[in-house]
Amino acid sequence: MVLKDVISTNTEKAFMLCNEAIVRGAIESDVKIAAFYPGAPASEILDTFSDAAAFFDYQMEISTNEKVALEVCAGASFAGLRSLTAMKSVGTNVAADTLFTLGYTGVRGGLVIVIADDPHAHSSQTEQDGRLFAPATYIPMLEPDSPQEAKEMTKKAFEISEKFRVPVIIRTVTRVNHQSGIVKLGKINRTPFKRAK
């Protein structure tokens, strides 16, 4: 990981991992809360958020499990703050009760949920197709295929979430999470923590 590219204030191009690009997109989107339970192939999202926390004003935590991480982010969203959690597909089963509930309760601040599938179980105990969560929960899903798309779709996911007051899933797979590529950096405009009116 090259942290300097993730936290850079310039708007040039950088070479980064897809998981790092997701974090960069969240930082550019003024994310305020990030909560995770570790799990490959999404682990670098947690690592990058942790390393970049010294440079930005978001709160980041490692939760007891994926359900707790999603509930932390849901609570932040109910208060009007943008939040993001990431988990492997097997962990989505742990968070499923909360995930299904959020599909009909809705949210307030943007809530982005990254679900990382692991075809061929390179780093998981089982294979699972996370795409099935979208129609089952009535939650929209975006699927990037490059680091550039991952960054842009993260930003778009926050916009969609707030416009329609629903969480948005970003679904990735191992070969997307762990590919690297050129990413055009956007502006970082951070705002103070404040509760929505």
Question: How does pLDDT run across 161-192, given as a tens digit for each residue?
Answer: 999 999 999 999 989 999 999 999 999 999 98
Residue 194 confidence (pLDDT): 77
Give yes or no for residue 11 having a pLDDT over 90.
Answer: no
Amino acid letter for position 186:
G
Residue 129 confidence (pLDDT): 83
Tell me the mean pLDDT in the region 10-35: 96
Q: What is the DSSP letter of 113?
A: E
Give yes or no for residue 197 having a pLDDT over 90.
Answer: no
Top CATH class of 3-180 equals alpha beta
Tell me the mean pLDDT in the region 35-42: 93
Closest by alpha carbon to 138, among 108, 100, 109, 95?
100
Which tokens hold the place of 87? 């988990």
Global pTM value? 0.94
Helix (H) or strand (E) holding 188: none
User: pLDDT tens-digit profile of 109-122?
Assistant: 999 999 999 777 67
Question: Domain-by-domain residue ranges, the chain?
Answer: 3-180
> In the chain, pLDDT over 70 holds for what percent of residues?
97
Q: What are phi and psi of 106, to 5 degrees?
A: 80, 180
Dist CA 79 CA 128 (whole Å): 32
Look over the chain and give the mean of its residue pLDDT values, rounded to a whole number. 93
Tell me the mean pLDDT in the region 71-89: 96
Closest by alpha carbon to 29, among 163, 190, 192?
190
Tell me the mean pLDDT in the region 77-103: 95
Higher pLDDT, 35 or 128: 35
Dist CA 19 CA 46 (whole Å): 9
Helices (H), the chain: 3-7, 18-28, 43-52, 66-78, 89-94, 96-105, 133-137, 147-164, 174-177
Give yes or no for residue 89 having a pLDDT over 70.
Answer: yes
Residues in the chain: 197
Residue 83 confidence (pLDDT): 98
Which tokens hold the place of 77? 């969203």
Higher pLDDT, 73 or 196: 73
Residue 159 confidence (pLDDT): 97
